[in-house]
Amino acid sequence: VMTDADVDGAHIRTLILTFLFREMPDLIEAGYVYIAKAPLYKIARGGRDLYIEKDSELEDVLLRDKLEKVEVLASDGDDFKLTHARWQKYGRLLKQYEGWAAALRAEYGHETITFLEESQILDKGVAGAEEAVALLRQRAPEEEPHETELISDDPAELVVRVVERKTGSATTHRLRREMFERSEYRNFVRVHSELEELAGTPPFDVRLGKEEERALSFEDLRRKVLDVARKGVDLKRFKGLGEMNPDQLYDTTMDAERRTLLQVTIDDAAGADQIFSMLMGDRVEPRREFIEENARNVINLDV
């Protein structure tokens, strides 16, 4: 089974495997079905081409020789000394952070979570609604670009107006009190605190030699570190197998001496049948119930 290395290719591969599992299971049981691991990137290094299968591997290659030369300065003056061990820890924490943020956005909306990130609520480690009320009633320092006003404090929600001092433009946010009691929120605050302890407070200045970038958030910091590491690198991303020249396709996916194949097996036929029926079957109701029951448990979601 040869499909593109991106998310669309993964979807197509799942459809093909569903067909084989349903209509030709003997092929799988006999060990005749394999998945070809096509590359997602090509880097020219040292006079030779290096093919890379996934984003995490690309990150490792880009930062292998450059990471400890990257300078990161946080807004609170902390100098984030990058080592491979600290960067790996940062990546693990960031994945958790993005997962909890996604869970909260699904329930309370994108604007609410952006407000939490841009206000002092996360920086101060606010653990409950009353703590949030006390913080929001404080007047922001004059040097802050935004002024926050607590308009309403009723038993169900807090209503907050944020005014941009430079332009006078205002936005209103509604924070449901029960959000502050959710385990997702508490985990979000906890991981935010761990990231601040490790890297400092956003925004960040990222430098590598003469290259400099500004990172506005924890997520943005990862992107900007990779951006400066990419400078000067001959990097090509393959959108699909059809973009490859014949010799590239042979070298990466067809040559029996060098290709990477994954054999498809059925270790739990009953479990596989249940999953395929629920997620890939004709009946919509079981699929909808599965999504509704598990939506809040998702940490890493591709849409």
Q: What is the CATH number for 277?
A: 3.40.50.670
Residue 155 lies in a domain: yes
Q: Is the pTM of this model over 0.75?
A: no
Instruction: Return the higher-pLDDT residue of 3 and 296.
Output: 3
Q: Is 37 among the domain residues?
A: yes
pLDDT at res. 176: 94
Q: Does position 223 have pLDDT exceeding 70, yes or no?
A: yes
- 3-state SS class at 212: strand
In this structure, are 195 and 83 located in the same domain?
yes
Q: Please tell me whether residues 118 and 88 are part of one structural domain.
A: yes
- For residues 36 and 255, the answer to whether their CB atoms sit within 8 Å is no
Q: Same domain, yes or no, for 59 and 98?
A: no
pLDDT of the residue at 97: 95
Confirm if 212 and 190 have CB atoms less than 8 A apart: no
Task: Over range 68-82, report the average pLDDT.
Answer: 86
User: Which element (helix H / strand E) includes 119?
Assistant: none
Are residues 193 and 90 part of one domain? Answer: yes
Residue 205 lies in a domain: no
Is residue 154 in a domain?
yes
Q: Is residue 103 assigned to a domain?
A: yes
144 and 189 share one domain: yes
Supply the pLDDT for residue 292: 84
Q: Report the SS3 class of residue 263.
A: strand
pLDDT at 300: 61
Q: What percent of the chain has pLDDT over 70?
A: 96
167: phi then psi, degrees, rounded to nearest 5:
-110, -20
Decide: 9 and 239 in contact? Cβ < 8 Å. no
- Residue with the two structure tokens 């290094």: 45
Q: Judge if 110 and 61 occupy the same domain.
A: no
Give domain status of residue 285, yes or no.
Answer: yes
Residues 49 and 85 reside in one and the same domain: no
Q: Report whether pLDDT(8) > 70.
A: yes
Residue type, 296: R
Please determine, for residue 179, whether its predicted confidence score (pLDDT) is greater than 90: yes
Provide mean pLDDT across the span 13-30. Answer: 92
Lowest-pLDDT range of 21-25, 205-209, 258-262: 258-262
Residue 127: which domain range?
Answer: 79-199
Angle at 126 between CA 125 and CA 131, to 5 degrees: 150
**pLDDT score of 96 more than 70:** yes
Q: Could you please report the per-residue DSSP string of 74-89?
A: ETTS-EEE--HHHHHH
* Cis geometry, peptide bond prior to residue 203 (ω within 30 degrees of 0): yes
Q: Report the alpha-carbon distance of residue 248 to residue 256 in Å, rounded.
A: 14
Q: What is the pLDDT of residue 244?
A: 82
Q: What angle do CA 262, 267, 269 make, to 5 degrees?
A: 120
Kindly state the tokens that stand for 28. Answer: 């799988």
**Least confident span in 157-161, 235-239, 281-285, 292-296:** 292-296
Flag whether pLDDT at 225 surpasses 80. Answer: yes
Query: Across-strand partners of 35?
Result: 262
- Is residue 50 domain-shared with residue 83, that is, in the same domain? no
Report how far apart, in Å, the C-alpha atoms of 54 and of each of 6, 38, 237 are.
9, 9, 11
Q: Are residues 45 and 93 in the same domain?
A: no
For 167-183, what is the mean pLDDT? 92
| Sheet-wide strand order for 170-176 | 146-153, 157-164, 170-176
d(CA 251, CA 257): 9
Assess whether pLDDT exceeds 70 at residue 276.
yes
Which domain-ending residue is among 174, 199, 224? Answer: 199
* Residue-averaged pLDDT of the chain: 87
Boundary-marking domain end, from 149, 169, 199: 199
How far is the C-alpha of 147 from the C-alpha of 113, rounded, in Å? 18
Boundary residue ending a domain (199, 228, 249): 199
Residue 280 within a domain: yes
Whether residue 57 sits in one domain with residue 83: no
pLDDT of residue 143: 66
> What is the token pair recorded at 9?
């290719």
With a cut of 90, say whether residue 53 has pLDDT above it: no
Q: Of the candidates 107, 45, 81, which has an alpha carbon nearest to the alpha carbon of residue 234?
A: 45
Q: Is 70 exceeded by the pLDDT of residue 193?
A: yes
- Return the C-alpha torsion angle 284, 285, 287, 292, nearest 10: 130
Please check whether residue 63 is in contact with residue 259, taking contact to mean a CB–CB distance below 8 angstroms: no
Tens digits of residue pLDDT in 104-159: 998 898 889 989 988 889 988 998 889 998 888 887 676 677 788 889 888 899 99
**99 Cβ contact list (under 8 Å, min separation 6):** 298, 299, 300
Q: Is residue 251 included in any domain, yes or no?
A: yes
Question: How many structural domains are present in the chain?
Answer: 2
